[in-house]
Structure 1
Amino acid sequence: MSAAKTSKKSAKGPSQEKIIADFNQLRQENRNLMAKVSELEGDVNEHRLVIETLKDVDGDRKCCRLVGGILVERTVKDVLPALEHNKEQIEKLVETLGAQIQAKSAELAEYREKYNIKVKGEQPPATSEEEKSGGSSQGVLVAKDSK
C-alpha cells in the first residue's frame, strides 16, 4: 500500500522541498560562477598592471616571479612573455565563464518560470502600465498646493 502512495506522489512531480532545494542549488552555482569571474577579472587587472610596469624596464633587469608558491628570480625579458600569455588565457577563461553564467541564468529563469517561484524581498518585473507611466511612484510623497 505504501508503494502505491509514493508512486502517486512521484507521478505528480517533485515535492516542494525538492523544487526549492534545486532552485537554491542553481542560484548557488550561478553565484559561484560570478564570484569566480570577479576573481579572475581581478587577476587580469593585476597582470595588466605588472605588464605595463615591466614594459618600461630594461629587459636584462632581474625580477622575481611567484611560481607554484616559490619565488623565482628571472629577467624581465623572460617573465614578460609568460605574463602576457597568462593574461590572455585568463581573459579566455573569463569569456567562457561568462557564457556559462548566461546559460545558467537562462536555466534559472526557466526553472523559476516552470515552478512559478517568487523570491522574498525581490521586486516583480514592471508591468507594461508602469513602464508607460515612467515607473511607479513608490516611496515618493508630493504635496499639493492648497491655494
Structure 2
Amino acid sequence: MAAKPSREQQMSEMEIISKFQQMRGDQRKLINKLSELESDKNEHRLVIQTLKVAPPERRCFRMMGGVLIERTVKEILPTLEENMEQLGKVVETLKVQVEEKGKELNAFREKYNIRFHGEADKKVNGGGAKSSKESEQSQGILVS
C-alpha cells in the first residue's frame, strides 16, 4: 500500500499545476496576440491593394489616435506599406516566441510527468501489462 503524500508534496503538486497552467495561459496570450496582428497585417494588405489602383491625388482618410486625418493616396500609401512591413516583423518574432513557449511547456510537462485526464486512460489501457513498480513511477500529475 502506497503511503499518502505529505502536505509538502501536495503543495508541491499544486504549485506545479499552477505553474503549468500559468505557462499555458502565457502561450494562449501569445497565440491570441499573434492572431490579432496577423489580422491587422491582412487588413493593411487589403487596403494597400485597394489604394495602389486609386489615383495618387485622390483624397483618403486615416484614423490616427481617434482623430480622422485627410490625406492623399500618395501620402498614405508609403506609411501603410511601412506599417505592414513592421507588422510582418512582429508576427515573425511572435511565431518564434510561441514556438519557444511550446518547447518550454513540453519540457516542463515531461519533467513533472504531467498528463491530461483522457491521456492517462489511453496510456494505461493501451500500454499492456506493467509491473507495480513501473506503474508507480509512471504516475504523474493529472491536469484538466
TM-score, shorter chain, exceeding 0.5:
yes
Which residue of 2 is the match for residue 42 of structure 1? 39
Q: C-alpha distance in 2, partners of 1:122/1:78?
A: 57
Secondary structure of the corresponding residue to residue 15 of structure 1: helix
Residue 72 (1) aligns with residue 69 (2): yes
Structure having the higher strand fraction is 2
Which residue of 1 is the match for residue 3 of structure 2? none
Q: Give the structure-2-normalised TM-score.
A: 0.75
Structure having the higher helix fraction is 2
Which residue of 1 is the match for residue 133 of structure 2? none
Could you report, residue by residue, the CA deviation over 1:83-110 in whole angstroms, capped at 9, with x for unpaired residues?
Answer: 0000000010000000001110000000
Which residue of 2 is the match for residue 55 of structure 1? 52
1:122, distance to aligned residue in structure 2 (A): 5.2
Alignment of 1:1-147 (within 5 A): 9=8, 15-121=12-118
Q: Give the structure-1-normalised TM-score.
A: 0.73
Once superposed, which parts of structure 1, at least 4 consecutive aligned residues long, lie more than 6 Å away?
Answer: none
Q: C-alpha distance in 1, partners of 2:118/2:51?
A: 48
Unmatched runs of 5 consecutive residues or more in structure 1: 1-8, 128-147
Could you report, residue by residue, the CA deviation over 1:24-49 in whole angstroms, capped at 9, with x for unpaired residues?
Answer: 00000000000000001100110000
Unmatched runs of 5 consecutive residues or more in structure 2: 1-7, 127-144
2:28 alignment partner AA: R
1:120, distance to aligned residue in structure 2 (A): 2.4
Aligned-residue RMSD, C-alpha: 2.1
Secondary structure of the corresponding residue to residue 118 of structure 1: strand
User: How many percent identity over aligned positions?
Assistant: 51
2:86 alignment partner AA: Q
Secondary structure of the corresponding residue to residue 60 of structure 1: coil
Q: C-alpha distance in 2, partners of 1:122/1:80?
A: 52
